[in-house]
């Protein structure tokens, strides 16, 4: 899924494709609610995540992708608390260029 911006040029409108936002499911609002009940902010980092230097720049698109991944993992854990989550369970869902966000130091 790509975030799109629109520019009006005279009468015509043109699409501008900006940075890529990952889309790993269609239940992002529910996942955000589950993360909120687990003590995570639904739309931003916790202080520990900022201090840990999880992303290169706070406020960039990478932050939102990290949050989407975090919420998805928390929801998956919430569904199956008796099963140990592994990195392999999520590798196919996340674009390769964001695989660094799935490192054991950050999530699993």
| DSSP secondary structure string for all residues of the chain | -EEEEEEEETTEEEEEEEEE-----S-HHHHHHHHHHTT--SSS--HHHHHTT-SSSTTSHHHHHHHHHHHHHHHHHHHTTTS---GGGTGGGS-GGGGGGGSTTT--
11 in a structural domain: no
15 within domain boundaries = no
Distance in angstroms (rounded) separating the CA atoms of residues 30 and 79: 12
Q: What is the pLDDT of residue 6?
A: 37
8, part of any domain: no
Q: Does residue 107 lie in a domain region?
A: no
pLDDT of residue 21: 62
Q: Is residue 16 part of a domain?
A: no
Residue 98 lies in a domain: yes
Provide the pLDDT for residue 18. 39
pTM reported for the whole predicted model: 0.62
Give the model's pLDDT for residue 8.
Answer: 39
Q: Which two tokens stand for residue 101?
A: 């966000």
* Number of neighbouring beta carbons within 10 Å of residue 93: 15
The verdict on residue 85 lying in a domain is: yes
Whether residue 81 is contained in a domain is answered as yes
pLDDT at position 103: 61
Would you give per-residue pLDDT tens digits along the chain (108 residues)? 333 333 333 344 434 333 566 666 667 788 888 888 888 877 788 787 778 777 777 777 778 888 888 888 888 888 888 888 887 787 777 777 777 776 655 554
Total number of domains in the chain: 1
Task: Kindly state the tokens that stand for 54.
Answer: 């999880």
Range of the domain at 98: 22-102
């Amino acid at each position: 899924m790509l975030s799109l911006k629109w520019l009006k040029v005279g009468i015509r409108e043109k699409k501008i494709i900006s940075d890529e936002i990952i889309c790993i499911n269609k239940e992002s609002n529910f996942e955000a609610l589950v993360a909120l009940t687990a003590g995570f902010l639904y739309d931003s980092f916790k202080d520990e995540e900022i201090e840990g230097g999880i992303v290169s720049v706070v406020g960039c698109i990478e932050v939102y992708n990290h949050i989407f991944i975090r919420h998805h993992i928390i929801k998956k854990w919430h569904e199956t608390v008796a099963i140990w989550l592994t990195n392999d369970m999520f590798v196919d869902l996340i674009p390769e260029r964001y695989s660094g966000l799935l490192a054991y130091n950050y999530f699993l």
